[in-house]
Amino acid sequence: MKPIFRWTDYKTETGQQATSVELHINDMPCTRHNFPEALREEARRASRPLEEALREIAERQSVERHLVTGARLDPRKRHAVGAAMQRGTLDPYELRPYVRRSLTLDLPRILAVASVGVREVNEDSGFIGRMVKLTLAVAWACEAIGAEVRCIMMEGHGPEYLSPNQPYRRAQLAYTLIEPDVTTPLQAYSVALNRQEFYGEGYVGAFRKDRESLRRAGKLRGNENCEPLVTFPGENGGYGVHWARTLYNPDIVIGIGKLMDINDADIKLQGKWDVKAAVEDIARQALRIAK
């Protein structure tokens, strides 16, 4: 059977061994329900300020690049080009070494990483649902202008639970909601609107279908035979920003919630928020960092 979880080894900021495991929401073995139309429309409306901001950023970067690279002739070639134009014999292809201008926009690659530590989720039963709506809004804004987007919900493994008898000093669990070139039907997100279903069916069910990953996750805390619900103890999203930059090298990282390294994100959202206000805040911060 094809593994449901995707494991990747990498290094921490100080060069220590680290590992992460990704589970795509598409692969959660859950009953799929219709995604509420009202929530879908709320996310779509909320996406508009960010779409406008990203379009402005892309156009601004494109103009700046043109000012730097040209739409100018190489001064050493001006005489030859001018003479050829007078004769009417200039081949447009001859201009290409001298005129360097792209008509395409420079689109930033965006990765949103949100903390879904056990404590955060238990303290706020609507947290995951709001995160899904925010994720959809960010994704629709990016996709509207053709920008690459990846959206992750992340939990950091509590370091005090990592067994000293295994090589990793850090472990991260990533729930992938959106990634480039992967089509996810809207119904797949319905599982995240119910906390019990997300963990009880989705998370636990995935581990029960991928026993090798269950064994590997248990080994992190020194018990290869532990139950799925206790495989990945963590209070917050861990070092999700470092993970995002190391594995996917995005142009813009949006950090949300109680990530240990959220101050390293380009855009930060903390505390209580609603989807509309959060997207507007992301848009304002995006324009600010692009200046």
Instruction: Give pLDDT, residue 170.
Output: 97
pLDDT in tens, 103-149: 445 678 899 999 998 777 878 878 888 888 898 999 999 988 888 99
Q: What is the mean pLDDT of residues 39-53?
A: 91
Mean pLDDT of the chain: 85
Residue 162, domain member (yes or no): yes
What pLDDT does 105 receive? 52
Q: Give a yes or no: residue 88 inside a domain.
A: no
Residues 267-276: contacts with CB within 8 Å, 24+ apart? 273/130, 274/130, 275/42, 275/43, 275/46, 275/130, 275/133, 275/134, 275/137, 276/42, 276/45, 276/46
If one counts the domains in the chain, the total is 1
Instruction: Look at residue 168 and tell me whether its pLDDT is greater than 90.
Output: yes
Question: What pLDDT shows up at residue 21?
Answer: 97
Q: Is residue 223 part of a domain?
A: yes
Give domain status of residue 18, yes or no.
yes
68 inside domain: no
pLDDT of 62 above 70: no
Q: Considering the entire predicted model, what is its pTM?
A: 0.83
Q: Is residue 87 part of a domain?
A: no
Q: What is the pLDDT of residue 101?
A: 40
Give yes or no for residue 151 having a pLDDT over 80. yes
Closest among 154, 165, 175, 260 to 221, alpha carbons compared: 165
pLDDT of residue 103: 41
Question: In which domain, by residue range, is 263 found?
Answer: 6-57+107-289
For residue 72, is it within any domain?
A: no
Which structure tokens are listed for 169?
Answer: 């000093």
Over residues 30-49, mean pLDDT? 89
Residue 71 confidence (pLDDT): 44
| The pLDDT of residue 102 | 43
CA pair distance 173, 154, nearest whole angstrom:
6
* Domain assignment of residue 120, yes or no: yes
